[in-house]
Amino acid sequence: MLRCLELAKLGLGSVSPNPMVGAVIVHQGRIIGEGYHQRYGEAHAEVNAVNNVINRFDDAAQLLSESVIYVSLEPCAHYGKTPPCADLIIKHQIPEVVVGCRDPFDQVNGKGIEKLQAAGVKVTVGVLEKECLDLNKRFFTRILKHRPYIILKWAQTEDCFFAPADQSQLWITGEESRKLVHQWRGEEDAILVGKNTAAIDNPQLNVRYGPGKSPKRIVIDRRLELSKELYLFDQTVETFVFNEVKTEFDGKVKYISLEDFNYYVPQYILYQLYLQDIQSVIIEGGATTLAHFIKDGLWDEARIFTGAITLKKGIQAPQIKGDVVSEDRVGNDVLKIIRPYVV
């Protein structure tokens, strides 16, 4: 199952809104095939693992009928972009399945396990369950909470300031931290900023210093006051502009008017993103935007860099409380990762 998890992680940034899944086929204590879900709309992990066996061995049918398949998430039981993986396992007469965790998606949620058991397959559920659940926290958040998984990210000075008082641009962190942030962007579906951050920093919000695709871009611009000359509007990436003026398309830029800009703005935005199949969002600022999501409890993880500089005055960094998951050095900076308290 640990190998399943290693394989599944290779799909990070490529399979959303599907979950990341790894599969390993074992015959008499020896791994004979493995696979993972590589890209949305393409073959699932179980299919790739079975094909791996078929391509490697002339007696694949016999081997499969004597093997155990380990899979990090419950095999699907419905027709989606691909046929049901439970049917595939039954077809190849694999007698035993070990599942990391159940799939809460309505069209699966126990149905894959039930179909396998009804066909006489031995099924074990809950092996490394905690790790398997954590692997797909983005997918589970979207399915169960009807919103994307939210990662808050900001940099602050040693004396906890977010930016100079005049809101001028200031690099608080070093190059190593900036490269890490670009790697993160390639792992998530979208990145969100407020109007002031867009206007002052003119960010490209893409992946320049790391692997992966550039995320979709999201900006909150209530009265549509941002200049169309900003990188945000360069038509290179799908971009959502939440406002109170209009709902229309302009190439890759989608203007979405919210029902009410005075109340529940974060909630409205996240539900609209859920409807767009966006599974995860990094919120990179500014301080007011971050504070709104913190205040409403709409966050799942905070990644906070502290740079080795002081400002003595300026815009205060957001205040957040939660469990510190890790604290590490990145170059000359300190990176702290926080998750909400478990109630």
Binding residues for Zn(2+), by number, are: 44, 76, 85
> Would you state the structure tokens that stand for residue 264, as one six-digit string?
């529940």
Give the Å distances, CA to CA, from 271 to 61, 244, 295, 336: 46, 16, 17, 28
Q: Which stretches does DSSP call E strand in the chain?
A: 22-27, 30-36, 68-73, 96-101, 122-125, 149-156, 161-163, 190-194, 216-220, 239-243, 248-250, 253-257, 280-283, 301-306, 315-316, 323-330, 333-339
Give the Å distances, CA to CA, from 112 to 82, 93, 109, 193: 14, 15, 7, 40
Catalytic residue among 34, 42, 46, 225: 46
The closest of 17, 22, 31, 16 to 2, measured between CA atoms, is 22
Which residues are annotated binding-site positions for NADP(+)?
155, 171, 197, 201
CA–CA gap between residue 77 and residue 115 (Å, rounded):
7
Helix, strand, coil: what percent of the chain each, to 5? 30, 25, 45
Instruction: Specify whether the CB–CB gap between 73 and 53 falls below 8 A.
Output: no
Which residues are annotated binding-site positions for substrate?
185, 205, 208, 284
Which residues are annotated binding-site positions?
44, 76, 85, 155, 171, 185, 197, 201, 205, 208, 284
Is 74 in the active site?
no
DSSP code per residue over 101-117: E---STTTTTHHHHHHH
Catalytic residue IDs: 46
